[in-house]
Structure 1
Amino acid sequence: MYGKNAHAAYQSVQVTTTDRGRLLLMMYEGAIKFLRQAKAGLEENDIPKFCRFLSKGQAIVAELMNTLDFEKGGTIARDLDRLYDFMLFYLTEANLHRDAKRITRVIGLLDTIYNAYKEIIEGEKKSAEVTEDKDETAEAKKDRVQISL
């Protein structure tokens, strides 16, 4: 009992202290994980498992759709909106027809977007670290005292 509560508390702290980019990656990871579990439920003919995890995956895709900023995101946000809408439609079709192939297709799309975002976020992080290192080096040079003999 305490283990589950401690884990939930840890996850809550992790989410509230995570930057926006990492939070986005966590959402993609969650959607992919839940859809894989839904697909497994379907393959095992465990319909309650299939429905539970498909619903969780759909909820995350819907939340990804709700987080889009059309003013800042422009064309990319509009394209993602259409893609998320397609994913939700496809997942609904997967539910109606008990079709694992449709789930696999959505997982593939989510995985592609996840990897692209991950590359962008890691690139920004490395760029920020390089800039920070340069700033520290410049500060260190200012503090040096030159001694000539």
Structure 2
Amino acid sequence: MAYQQYQAYQNNSVNTATPGELTLMLYNGCLKFIKQAKKAIENNEHETKNVMIQKTQNIIRELMVTLDQEAPITKEIMPLYDFAYHALTQANVKNDLDQLEQAREIIQDFRDTWKEVIKQERIRQYGQGVNA
């Protein structure tokens, strides 16, 4: 019963989120999966590591294809996504925690920046701060 309520809450959160909030959820998902991949590498759980890194790569790929190709900022963001994606590949193939950490840092920076953008937008719209 509690699990069904949690699932309903999760579905409602996604269905009612703004595009900005959905992007923030994707960044948070990446960070969660990277953390799980790190733990799996440390515990020699190769299958789990592979699944978590692939989930992260799938999110990054989705973020890449949804970028507005006409926006000037895309030329700055795309190479960082490419770098993170490649670092994840190397982390997966070589069980390389340094590469995993490089990808995490990039995604963390994007997440933190995006969180601040959402916060500033809410202040602009509503005249008050709301935690993102």
Same fold (TM > 0.5): yes
Q: In the alignment, which residue of structure 2 is the partner of 1:121?
A: 118
CA displacement at 1:89 relative to structure 2 = 1.2
Paired positions, count? 128
Taking the aligned partners of 1:47 and 1:9, their CA distance within structure 2 comes to 32
- Unmatched runs of 5 consecutive residues or more in structure 2: none
Structure 1-normalised TM-score? Answer: 0.79
* Secondary structure, counterpart of 1:70 in structure 2: coil
CA displacement at 1:47 relative to structure 2 = 1.1
Correspondence list, 1:1-149, <5 A:
2-71=1-70, 74-130=71-127
* Aligned-residue RMSD, C-alpha: 1.5
CA displacement at 1:22 relative to structure 2 = 0.9
CA displacement at 1:78 relative to structure 2 = 2.1
Moved more, 54-63 or 122-131: 122-131
Structure 2-normalised TM-score? Answer: 0.89
- Unmatched runs of 5 consecutive residues or more in structure 1: 132-149
Taking the aligned partners of 2:105 and 2:88, their CA distance within structure 1 comes to 13
Q: Larger Rg: 1 or 2?
A: 1
What does the per-residue CA deviation read over 1:14-68, in whole Å, with 9 as the maximum and x for residues that have no partner?
A: 1111011111111100001101100110011111211111111111111111111
Moved more, 6-15 or 23-32: 6-15
Moved more, 18-27 or 6-15: 6-15
CA displacement at 1:75 relative to structure 2 = 2.1
Taking the aligned partners of 1:66 and 1:58, their CA distance within structure 2 comes to 12
1:52 maps to amino acid: V
- Report which of the two has the higher share of helix: 1
Q: CA 1:112–1:129 in structure 2 vs 1: closer, same or farther (change >3 Å)?
A: same
